A and B are shown apart, each in its own frame.
Chain A
Amino acid sequence: MDFGFTPRQEALKQEVRQFIAENVSPEVLAEAAKGWEEGRGPRTRELLKKIADRGWVGISWPKEYGGQGGSRIDQYLVEEEFARVGIGVGGAGSGAPAILAAGTEEQKQYFLPRIIRGEIVFGLGFTEPQAGADLASLQCRAVRDGDEYVVNGQKMFTSSAHFATHLYLMARTDPEAPKHKGISIFLIPMDTPGITVRPLWTIQSNPTAPLGTTYGQARTNEVFLEDVHVPASCILGEENMGWYVGAMGLNLDRVGASRYLLSVSRDEDIINWVKENDFQGFTPAQDPAVRDRLAELWIEAQVCRLMTLRSMSLVEHGGKFTYEGSAEKVFSPEHGVRTTETITQVLGPYAQLMNGSPEAIEDGIFAHNVLGAFQSGINHGSVQVMRDQVARRGLGMPRS
């Protein structure tokens, strides 16, 4: 067991912090806060390019595809520093892990360097109106026709679709096969004729959430695919193996700095806030009940951190997860909700004030968090489904 980072890794953290202090200006952050609505603005793109030039994106990816051939832990450390200021770096949700694992040489050569440079952004086209947690029951169809596939169907909650360059699409290629065995993944340019994107506005859209809020997402989308013709070379991995390719990507996506910070950032925020503030005569930091509860939440936050480090350790050992990723995905989001709900009872009526309101605390982030924190227990595998996985895959319990 080793719970420390090497001196080199400690230095890397400091280097990234220094970079952030010098390059992540309030203007960039203001622009990034609108990212879910408007996509990446020019300042954000410039920043991401600078970050890529430092070699900090895809650190663990092979050199021949623009990565650094470095360790996943280094990548985690860099991701954490940027995630803490609300800037997503490092390829979580990028589709890159799955492309690396299942892509053709051509796909790797094409996509990975462009993902690193920020030129390619995927929209994740998994969920459908009738297929959410039970994703394998999806109905969107892709039919082989010579050198092409023809895609028809509807996707739901496709978050980045309005600014993505490509759709990372799960579709059914064999309707006769058992449901997990007839699915394929396609990497499709968004400008392919037949794709229509319609906005869906979330309860965090008015006003837009401050950066770092959980979930903080103002907009997502419905995507309609009507007779979309794509070359057969768009398929990722083998035909009908898409479920396994997708699951692999999800597992790697589920773990990492941004997931972890979604669940624990408010712990730090509320503790630092009560240390520095009071309500003229009422000092929450001296209230015995508040103290006990904050300490309890802090311990849970440490468990979230350690479960993330465990996932990182497993990745370094070859990535053989049985249930550990799912365990983290149960404990951390539910912890985030407990913290958020505790904060409402520490701050009382102040916790309802949104950004823009007079007297709002910390720019309304706590109020916004109430609206969104529970979402991280639904996305990317709901806590119910994750518990099923822990029990069935981790503990070998029988299916009902």
Chain B
Amino acid sequence: MDVLLNEEEQMLKNLAREFLEKECPPEMARAMEADDLGYPPALWKKLADLGWLGLALPEAYGGQGLPLAYLGLIFEELGRAIAPVPFHSTMMAALTIAKDGSEQQKKEVLPAVARGDMVLTWALLETDPRLLPETVHAQATPQGNGYVISGTKMFVDNFNAAQKFLVACRTAPVSGDKSPVTPLYERGGLSSPPLQRGVGGISAQGSEAGLSLFLVDTNLPGISHTPLGTMVKDKQSRVTFDRVAVPASSLVGRLHQGWPVIEGMLDRGTILLCAQMLGATRKDAEMGIDYAKNRVAFGRPIGAFQSIQHLCADMIVWVDGVQLLTYEALWRMDQGLPASIEISQAKAFANDKCEAVVRSSQVIHGGIGFMAEFNLNLWFRRVSSWTMRMGTSFEHRARIARALLDQPGRVRLGESMYDLAPSG
């Protein structure tokens, strides 16, 4: 047990920071907000040359096979630099293909990603913004030697930049007695009725969800997209599928068994986003603290006032909390241990605390932080929007509550919550 970074991890982080400080100033994030593509291809290519794009991909497909925690450290630094690159959506899809894709899919996608020649994304959410199997209605119907996809996906990251994406579709109706109308008490993800099955009782549903995942070219006939106008001015789209024909070989994993694959993708995406939020939030806090040391009011630096000092102390305590939760989840994933609870812990805490930290930093900056040309808002807007992605606090706490309360057996901090009692 040693929760601090070891030498190698620290070195990787330092190198990433040095590179990004030099190559990715905040002006780049600002410029990309007004750019149609949304990222600078030259920087993307440099990330590939540094080996970051293949860092956690298998060696057999052009990657380096390093632990997910290392990728997490890269995400932390990318967040710190608010680097405008489609890294998160690409990694979410690429890691999923690496884990669950067919040999052909791996060959087609992974080396290209590692080289920096392919951008990826994923499409799951529809009207209902919760990351749950029953919110998926887009239909993939068998036809000839493949499938035909129809439906509409929301909040698809970097669609305009991506060559391929993973698309979650319904291939069979939801089995069991799931009514299409979510009961009132479930809305907002506050809670769900006790569950009898699933991994440690916390998985919303298993293979019975009737979903399948497809790897789809973004330029196929029948696919159209409408850019969404977000507070970060990042590139998210509403994507419509109008009878889009895809070959049978696009299926990722097994037919109707897509949910566990999707859940794994969401878990990795969630924790990597936590790492990114962590880096951005710590940087934002540091800017607030620096400002407090230098800004003079009432004859002294405002950082000499205890009310400002205590605000800053809380900011750092909370960021440290996000860091510890995030690292523990990453570590567990690298050990092959179940980590969905730890991931939800990290994201729920990050959602609440990162928002509080960047807001405090705005407060410390008084009026100037509210001005568009002052850079602080670049971090503020991003961290805020990331709290809204990959699961709200309510959704993640609902998952934790299920683990805590809906399985028999006593809980104890520091002990596994996945096997309080045998599931089944």
Contact of A330 with B by CB under 8 A? yes
Q: How far is B308's CA from A262's CA once the two chains are assembled, in angstroms?
A: 29
Asked whether, in the complex, the Cβ of A288 is within 8 Å of the Cβ of B313, the reply is no
Residues of chain B with a CB closer than 8 A to A272's CB: 410-411
Asked whether, in the complex, the Cβ of B1 is within 8 Å of the Cβ of A5, the reply is yes
Asked whether, in the complex, the Cβ of A302 is within 8 Å of the Cβ of B413, the reply is yes
B331-369 vs A, CB cutoff 8 Å, 1 = contact: the mask equals 110010000000001001100000000000000000000
Set B5, B185, B324, B411: member contacting A306, Cβ < 8 A: B324
Asked whether, in the complex, the Cβ of B313 is within 8 Å of the Cβ of A391, the reply is yes
Asked whether, in the complex, the Cβ of A387 is within 8 Å of the Cβ of B310, the reply is yes
Contact of A250 with B by CB under 8 A? no
Q: How far is B331's CA from A313's CA once the two chains are assembled, in angstroms?
A: 16
Asked whether, in the complex, the Cβ of A398 is within 8 Å of the Cβ of B405, the reply is no
Q: How far is B310's CA from A388's CA once the two chains are assembled, in angstroms?
A: 7
Asked whether, in the complex, the Cβ of A305 is within 8 Å of the Cβ of B414, the reply is yes
Contact of B373 with A by CB under 8 A? no
Residues of chain B with a CB closer than 8 A to A43's CB: none
Quote the shortest CB–CB distance from B112 to chain A (angstroms). 31
Contact of A327 with B by CB under 8 A? yes
Residues of chain A with a CB closer than 8 A to B331's CB: 1-4
Interface residues of B in 1-26 (CB under 8 A from A): 1-6, 9
A369-388 vs B, CB cutoff 8 Å, 1 = contact: the mask equals 00000000000000010111
Set B69, B194, B348: member contacting A296, Cβ < 8 A: B348
Asked whether, in the complex, the Cβ of B320 is within 8 Å of the Cβ of A1, the reply is no
Tally of chain B residues near chain A (CB < 8 A): 57
Set B191, B317, B332: member contacting A331, Cβ < 8 A: B317
Asked whether, in the complex, the Cβ of A303 is within 8 Å of the Cβ of B335, the reply is no
Quote the shortest CB–CB distance from B272 to chain A (angstroms). 16
Residues of chain A with a CB closer than 8 A to B313's CB: 327, 330, 386-388, 390-391, 394-395
Asked whether, in the complex, the Cβ of B1 is within 8 Å of the Cβ of A400, the reply is no
Asked whether, in the complex, the Cβ of B185 is within 8 Å of the Cβ of A295, the reply is no
Asked whether, in the complex, the Cβ of A271 is within 8 Å of the Cβ of B325, the reply is no
Q: Known: A1-B69, A331-B317, A387-B313. Contact between A292 and B3, CB under 8 A? A: no
Asked whether, in the complex, the Cβ of B349 is within 8 Å of the Cβ of A295, the reply is no
Contact of B164 with A by CB under 8 A? no
Asked whether, in the complex, the Cβ of B405 is within 8 Å of the Cβ of A303, the reply is no
Asked whether, in the complex, the Cβ of A295 is within 8 Å of the Cβ of B404, the reply is yes
Q: How far is B348's CA from A327's CA once the two chains are assembled, in angstroms?
A: 20
Residues of chain B with a CB closer than 8 A to A316's CB: 2
Interface residues of A in 274-296 (CB under 8 A from B): 274-275, 285-289, 291-292, 294-296
Q: Known: A299-B348, A309-B3, A390-B313. Contact between A1 and B327, CB under 8 A? A: yes
Contact of B33 with A by CB under 8 A? no
* Closest B residue to A310 using CB positions: B3
Residues of chain B with a CB closer than 8 A to A264's CB: 413
Contact of A399 with B by CB under 8 A? yes
Q: How far is B400's CA from A302's CA once the two chains are assembled, in angstroms?
A: 12
Residues of chain A with a CB closer than 8 A to B349's CB: 299-300, 303
* Closest A residue to B186 using CB positions: A288
Contact of A392 with B by CB under 8 A? yes
Q: How far is B305's CA from A264's CA once the two chains are assembled, in angstroms?
A: 32
Asked whether, in the complex, the Cβ of B401 is within 8 Å of the Cβ of A398, the reply is no
Contact of A244 with B by CB under 8 A? no
Can you report 15 A-B residue pairs in the complex whose CB atoms are below 8 A from each other? A3-B1, A3-B328, A3-B332, A267-B413, A285-B405, A291-B398, A295-B400, A303-B349, A306-B324, A310-B4, A313-B2, A384-B310, A387-B314, A391-B303, A391-B309
A residues at B contact (CB < 8 Å)? 1-5, 9, 73, 80, 264, 267-268, 271-272, 274-275, 285-289, 291-292, 294-296, 298-303, 305-307, 309-310, 312-314, 316-317, 323-324, 327, 330-331, 384, 386-388, 390-392, 394-400
3 smallest CB-CB distances across A and B, nearest first, come from A391-B309, A306-B324, A295-B397
